[in-house]
Amino acid sequence: MSLKIGITGASGVLGSELQKKIKKNLIIFKGDLTKKKDVYHWIKNNEFKSIYHFAAVVPIKDFNKSVKKSFKVNSTGTKFLVDAIIKFQSKKIWFFYSSTSHVYKLNKFLTDWFELHQLTLLSISFCPHHDAIESCICRKPDSLMLEKVIARYNISVNDSFLIGDSLRDIKAAEKVGLKAFQIKPNSNLNLLNF
Ligand SMILES: [Zn+2]
């Protein structure tokens, strides 16, 4: 039985953590994920027990800098991998495809900050879609995300407000009747006068 464990994105945040934990039988993908030939070659030449697929353009600002290229890595590259597995792997393998570590890090920061200030953090919401790829009704300026939170936690819209750093945020707030304050990105909230 094969013991080989495949990993893409080995030098990234999650990839390097995994490399510390698993020292044996690790086969690192060193090719270009957007090249079908590279991906197929890697899968064809190794019989894997499992694959951890971490390679991705993750930070939102990097993704937005080059949407097409990032989509090619994140989506087309993943499809190459899955297609190649179906085509070349004779046994069923365990395939792990992670969400972005950036979401986890940000959530941890927010959770800690609220705890430090003895505030109750009810919910963290985010839209997993990008408007360059697909349209959805949760991405601001649409308001589904806000509507869900308001309904779920029975929030009084009249007693609440929204702080956002783009016009899309403000528009979403207006749709549900929330007061909204637009700030400059990365402003120090302690220095603002509402
Ligand atoms: Zn969405």
Q: In this predicted model, what pLDDT tens digit does every residue of 62-80 receive, in sequence order?
A: 877 888 898 899 889 999 9
Closest CA relative to residue 51, chosen from 97, 99, 1, 19: 97
Total Cβ atoms within 10 A of residue 62 = 12
Confidence tier at 93 by pLDDT (50, 70, 90): very high
Of residues 2 and 169, which shows the higher confidence score?
Answer: 169
Looking at domain 4-97, its CATH superfamily turns out to be NAD(P)-binding Rossmann-like Domain (3.40.50.720)
Domain 122-191 has CATH 3.40.50.1000: yes
Cα separation, 99 vs 58, whole angstroms: 9
Q: How far is the CA of 77 from the centre of ligand 1 (A)?
A: 22
Band (pLDDT 50/70/90 cuts) for residue 101 is low
Q: Ligand 1 centroid vs 139 CA: distance in angstroms? A: 4
What value does the mean pLDDT take over residues 94-118? 79
Cα of 97 from ligand 1 centre, angstroms: 20
Helix, strand, or coil here: 4?
strand
Ranges in the chain annotated CATH 3.40.50.720: 4-97
Tell me the average pLDDT across 25-30: 95
CA of residue 127 to ligand 1 center, whole Å: 4
Distinct helix (H) and strand (E) counts, the chain: 8, 6
29-55 average pLDDT score: 95
Ligand 1 mean position, distance from CA 136 (Å): 5
pLDDT: which is higher, 67 or 105: 67
Q: Could you tell me where in the chain the CATH 3.40.50.1000 domains are found?
A: 122-191
pLDDT over 90 at 120, yes or no:
no
